[in-house]
Every structure is written in structure tokens, then in C-alpha cells.
């Protein structure tokens, strides 16, 4: 039997990872390392179709599983197709019981679609897939900071940029518009296959014009935090740096962080305990266990509060230390 265990990033914006176990047409997936959903697609419907032809097939929800609650089965249908899919789902489930505590799985989504700046340099990561055919090149070329960012993100750069941070979503909306300006009036994107050394081989693209699709870029030309942090004036650099710090609970999912960078991100993540509590089981390493444990305790306390009191208005720990009244 051939089982695959891997992780894939959730993007635009980067907001976590999906750890997956795949067996034939069955997938078991988790976003928190605790709750797993198991699906099986009816791949028998694809038999006889040319390999170049894509087709949509039905699937069933085999069930959900957690160590605490055990297996909860999905609907059962009396049909031959269902029985065949059921057998595949059972194999995936049984293997899940063997490997669920080996998280996180390695990232395998090496095909990356990058929004380019006006100089055709990688600006922001829009999407990633495990294979080239899975990547759609018919999508809006716009990077988004996400709805969660609109609800909780702020930055000390807002005042210098004349952003009214009291308006809901104002700082996030400005950041989105700023990235769009960097991409130019006719935005372009390029698909790269990332190599083990971090370099990337260009494959295809959107609105590339005179940019050769087959170009190869070195590792240093790809923003490590999935959004460029180099080509900005000091104020906008601060804005984007604060955004990356706001993303710290998710940035800690990366496997390429050294101890200093990971330790710094843990400190910034600590102001968002609910997000840490959801993600920490998928962190490949923890530098300061006391920070993560304290955040988990804080998360449990917040989860016991009414929903309206759980909201995390987030500012970098650096600024909280300088201006403690901001956190009130």
C-alpha cells in the first residue's frame, strides 16, 4: 500500500497549513493536529478518460476523527461505488491511527504562484500546489491580507501614513492597496517550481510580457515570509514588518526558521494566544516552551469568556512594551 503524508500551505494570505494523509482516492486532513476529516472521492468515474482531461468526481465524507472523541462516521449509502470507496477510506483511517502523532508532515507544495512587482520580482505569494496541473492561472492577481487581518491588525506606521486605525479594516485595506500599487497597473504573476536549495525555476505565468517564463531565480530573490520586505521606504517597511509579526502564529509553521528568528516570532505570537492554541501542535520546533505554554493557558481563559470578549486586537509586543496604554 502506498500512503503519502505531507503538508500544504493555506495562502492569500498565509493563514496556516493543512496536514494531509493520502491513500489512493482518500484524504485525511487536519488544520490543528487534533481534528481530522476523512474524504474519499469516486475516482472510478475517471477510468478510461485521457490523462490530459480533467474531471470532477463525487466524494463521500467517510468521517471525522480525534484521539479524544474517536471516529464519527459519515452517511452510509447502499451502493457498489460506496462499498469500494468505503474500503479505501478504512485503509486511510487505519493508517491515520499509526501516524497522527508524527506531525507536522513535510511541506510538498513546491509549485508557487508569485505576484510580481513592477520590476517583475517576486512580491507576494498567491498560491501553492503539489503539482503543476493543480495550479490555476485564471485567478485575480491581487494579494489579500485576509478578513482576520481586517478585524485585528494594526500598526504604529498608521499614524505616519495618515490611516485612521479606529476605522475597522483601515490598516489592512491600506496594506492591500499598497501591495497592489507595487504590482503596477497591469499586474503579472509567475509560477515557479522551488528547488531543495531554495532557488526557483520559472514555468508559466500571467501577463509576463517580456519576462522569460523559463528564468531561474536564486533563493535570495524569494521573500522568506511570503511577502517582500526589501523594496520599501522606512514607513512602509515598518507596516509590512508589523504585518509579518501579526502573522507570527502562522509563520511559526515554517520549517526554515533558525533559532533566533523562531524565538522572536514566538514572542510576537504570544499576544495572540487563541491562534497559538490552534496551531502549536503543528510547529516543527518550539524555542521557549514557557511562552507557548503561557499562551495556551491564556487561550483557555479567553475561551471561557463570552464570545465578544475573545477578540484579539493585535499590535507587536515591541510596541506594547513602548506604549502599554495601547493594549488597554
How far apart are alpha carbons 10 and 16 in whole angstroms? 5
- DSSP state at residue 34: S
Lowest-confidence segment of 27-31, 109-113, 151-155, 316-320 by average pLDDT: 316-320
Q: Which long-range contacts (CB under 8 A, 24 or more apart) does 140-144 make?
A: 141/115, 141/183, 141/187, 141/188, 141/189, 141/206, 141/207, 142/115, 142/176, 142/180, 142/187, 143/12, 143/13, 143/115, 143/176, 143/179, 143/180, 143/183, 143/227, 144/12, 144/13, 144/176
Question: Residues 116, 123: contact at Cβ < 8 Å?
Answer: yes
How far apart are alpha carbons 253 and 270 in whole angstroms? 15
Question: Residues 278, 33: contact at Cβ < 8 Å?
Answer: no
When comparing pLDDT for 140 and 104, which is higher? 104
pLDDT at 226: 98
Q: What is the pTM of this model?
A: 0.88
Which pLDDT tens digit goes with each residue over 245-275?
999 999 999 999 999 999 999 999 999 999 9
Question: Residues 270, 318: contact at Cβ < 8 Å?
Answer: no
Which pLDDT tens digit goes with each residue over 90-110?
999 999 999 999 999 999 999
Q: Strand, coil or helix: what is 96?
A: helix
When comparing pLDDT for 82 and 275, which is higher? 275
Amino acid at each position: 500500500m502506498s500512503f503519502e503524508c505531507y503538508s500544504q500551505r493555506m495562502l492569500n494570505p498565509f493563514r496556516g497549513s493543512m496536514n494531509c494523509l493520502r491513500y489512493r482516492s482518500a484524504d485525511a486532513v487536519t488544520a490543528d493536529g487534533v481534528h481530522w476529516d476523512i474524504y474519499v472521492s469516486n475516482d472510478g468515474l475517471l477510468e478510461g478518460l485521457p490523462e490530459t482531461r480533467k474531471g470532477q468526481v463525487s466524494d463521500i465524507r467517510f468521517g471525522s476523527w480525534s484521539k479524544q472523541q474517536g471516529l464519527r462516521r459519515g452517511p452510509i449509502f447502499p451502493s457498489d461505488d460506496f462499498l469500494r470507496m468505503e474500503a479505501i477510506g478504512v485503509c486511510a483511517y487505519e493508517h491515520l491511527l499509526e501516524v497522527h502523532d508524527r506531525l507536522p508532515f513535510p511541506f510538498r507544495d513546491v509549485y508557487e504562484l508569485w505576484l510580481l512587482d513592477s520590476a517583475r520580482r517576486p512580491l507576494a505569494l498567491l498560491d501553492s500546489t503539489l503539482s503543476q496541473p493543480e495550479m490555476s492561472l485564471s485567478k485575480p492577481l491581487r494579494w489579500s491580507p485576509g478578513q482576520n487581518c481586517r478585524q485585528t491588525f494594526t500598526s504604529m506606521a498608521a499614524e505616519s501614513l495618515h490611516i485612521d486605525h479606529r476605522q475597522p479594516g483601515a490598516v489592512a485595506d491600506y496594506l492591500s492597496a499598497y501591495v497592489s500599487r507595487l504590482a503596477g497597473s497591469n499586474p503579472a504573476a509567475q509560477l515557479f517550481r522551488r528547488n531543495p536549495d531554495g532557488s526557483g525555476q520559472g514555468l508559466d505565468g500571467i501577463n509576463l510580457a517580456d519576462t522569460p517564463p523559463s528564468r531561474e531565480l536564486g533563493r535570495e530573490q524569494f521573500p522568506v515570509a511570503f511577502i517582500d520586505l526589501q523594496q520599501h521606504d522606512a514607513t512602509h517597511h515598518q507596516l509590512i514588518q508589523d504585518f509579518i509579526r501579526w502573522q507570527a502564529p502562522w509563520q511559526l509553521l515554517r520549517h526554515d526558521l533558525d533559532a533566533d528568528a523562531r524565538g522572536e516570532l514566538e514572542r510576537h505570537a504570544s499576544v495572540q494566544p487563541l491562534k497559538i492554541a490552534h496551531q502549536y501542535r503543528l510547529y516543527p520546533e518550539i524555542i521557549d516552551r514557557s511562552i507557548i505554554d503561557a499562551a495556551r493557558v491564556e487561550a483557555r481563559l479567553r475561551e471561557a469568556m463570552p464570545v465578544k470578549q475573545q477578540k484579539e486586537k493585535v499590535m507587536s509586543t515591541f510596541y506594547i512594551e513602548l506604549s502599554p496604554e495601547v493594549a488597554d
